[in-house]
Amino acid sequence: MRERKIPLNLNCGLDLIGEVLYGKWKIRLLWFISEGHKRPSELHRKIPGASRRVLTVQLNELEAHDLIRKKVYAVVPPKVEYSLTAFGKTIIPLIGALGKWADENETRLRDLILNNETKLPEANRDGY
């Protein structure tokens, strides 16, 4: 975040989607929360590839965007639970649909992605 130097576009709906859902782990976070994984540590276990730091940052953003709500228990060690807001719930079906689409095309997508991971970079390496 911090002071943005390149202005936001907020023209069409798709721009807005970008702002709210754009973040490497956000849709996964929303999805797992919708599945009932509420605590940050749980979510981190579900998404081990992400650093704890980014997850908390993105959770904060989702909260700021009113998609999730945070409940802090005054105990030690700390306990925190996230849940979807009513607003957040309205977007879950869409995320579900995306996941379903990807699952249905899983092998195809995986092939396409991996193909390009091994092809494009080699072309670049020559340039160094």
85 touches 69 (CB < 8 A): yes
In the window 70-109, what residues touch DNA (CB under 7 A)?
70, 72, 76-80
Distance CA 50, CA 44 (A): 7
Interaction between residue 42 and a second copy (CB under 8 A): no
CB closer to a second copy, 62 vs 82: 62
Interaction between residue 59 and DNA (CB under 7 A): yes
Helices 26-34 & 86-104 angle (0-180, nearest 10):
110
Neighbours of 28 (CB within 10 A): 19
Using the rule CB under 8 A, give the single segment among 36-44, 59-67, 68-76, 77-85 that binds a second copy.
59-67
Label residue 61 left, alpha or beta by phi (over 0 means left) and psi (-120 to 50 means alpha): alpha
Using the rule CB under 8 A, give the single segment among 33-41, 69-77, 78-86, 87-95 that binds a second copy.
87-95
Interaction between residue 95 and a second copy (CB under 8 A): yes
58 touches 26 (CB < 8 A): yes
Query: What does the binding site for DNA look like in residue numbers (CB under 7 A)?
Result: 1-6, 22-25, 39-42, 49-54, 56-60, 70, 72, 76-80, 127
